[in-house]
Amino acid sequence: MTIPESTGHTADGVSESTNGVIAVVKRDCPTCELVVPALTQLHAHLESQGSTLTVYTQDDPTFPSFGASPVDDTQLAFSWHNNIETVPTLLRFENGVEVDRIVGWSREQWQSFTGVADLAAELPEHRPGCGSLSVDPALTDMLAVRFNQSSLHSRRVEFASLEDEFEAMFDRGWSDGLPVIPPTEARVLHMLSGTTRDPQEIVASIPPDLNEVTVEQIAVNAVMAGAKPEYLPVILAAVEAACTDEFNMHGLLATTFFSGPIIIVNGPIAERIGMNGEGNAFGQGNRANLTIGRALQLVIRNLGGGRPGEIDMAAQGSPGKLAFCFAEREYDSPFEPLAQWRGQEPGVSSVTLFAGQGPSAIIDQLSREPVSLTKSMAASLRATNHPKLAIGFDAMLVVSPEHGRIFTEAGWDRQRLLSELEKLLTLNADEMIRGVDGIAEGLPEMLAGHSVPKFRPGGLLIAHAGGNAGLFSSVLGGWVGGGTGSEPVTVAIGS
Amino acid sequence: MTETSTDRPFVVLDPTAGPAAAGMTAAARPDSLEGKTVGLLDISKPRGDIFLSQLQQDLESRGAVVRTYRKPTFAKPAPVDLRQEIATQCDAVIEALAD
What strands lie across the sheet with B37-42, from one edge to the other? Answer: B65-70, B37-42, B92-96
* CA A147 – CA A185 distance, rounded (Å): 12
Q: Is B11 within 8 Å of A183 when comparing Cβ atoms?
A: no
Q: Which residues of B fall within a CB distance of 8 Å from A159? A: 9-12
Contact yes or no for A60/A26 (Cβ under 8 A): yes
A76: left (phi over 0), alpha (psi -120 to 50) or beta: left
Tens digit of each residue's pLDDT (9 = 90 or more) over A301-338: 999 999 999 999 999 999 999 999 999 999 999 999 99
Q: Which residues of A fall within a CB distance of 8 Å from B20? A: 305
A20-135 topology per CATH: Glutaredoxin (3.40.30)
Q: Name the residue in chain B with its Cα closest to that of A220.
A: B15
Q: Is A213 within 8 Å of B17 when comparing Cβ atoms?
A: yes
Tens digit of each residue's pLDDT (9 = 90 or more) over A194-242: 999 999 999 999 999 999 999 999 999 999 999 999 999 999 999 999 9
Tens digit of each residue's pLDDT (9 = 90 or more) over A385-397: 999 999 999 999 9
pLDDT value of residue A151: 83
Q: Is A484 within 8 Å of B75 when comparing Cβ atoms?
A: yes
Report the gap between the CA of A479 and the closest CA in chain B (Å). 10
Asked if the model's pLDDT at residue B3 lies above 70, the reply is: no
pLDDT value of residue B19: 66
Tens digit of each residue's pLDDT (9 = 90 or more) over A359-378: 999 999 999 999 999 999 99
Look up the ipTM and state it: 0.80
Computed over every residue of chain B, the mean pLDDT equals 84
Contact yes or no for A203/B3 (Cβ under 8 A): no
Q: Give whole-number Cα distances, A446 to A418, A430, A443, A449, in Å.
A: 28, 10, 8, 9
pTM: 0.82
* CA A339 – CA A342 distance, rounded (Å): 5
Tens digit of each residue's pLDDT (9 = 90 or more) over B19-36: 666 667 888 888 888 889
DSSP A301: I
pLDDT band at B5 (very low <50, low <70, confident <90, very high): very low
Domain ranges of chain B: 37-96
Asked if the model's pLDDT at residue B6 lies above 60, the reply is: no
Report the gap between the CA of A211 and the closest CA in chain B (Å). 7
Domain ranges of chain A: 20-135, 165-492
Contact yes or no for A429/A445 (Cβ under 8 A): no
pLDDT band at B74 (very low <50, low <70, confident <90, very high): confident
* CA A313 – CA A34 distance, rounded (Å): 69
Q: Which of B1, B3, B4, B16 has the highest number of chain A CBs within 10 A, making it the mutation to test binding with A?
A: B16
In this prediction, the residues of chain A whose per-residue pLDDT falls under 70 are 1-13
Burial A157-189 (b: 16+ CB within 10 A, else e): bebeeeeebeebbeeeebbbeeebbbbbbbbbb
* CA A71 – CA A76 distance, rounded (Å): 11
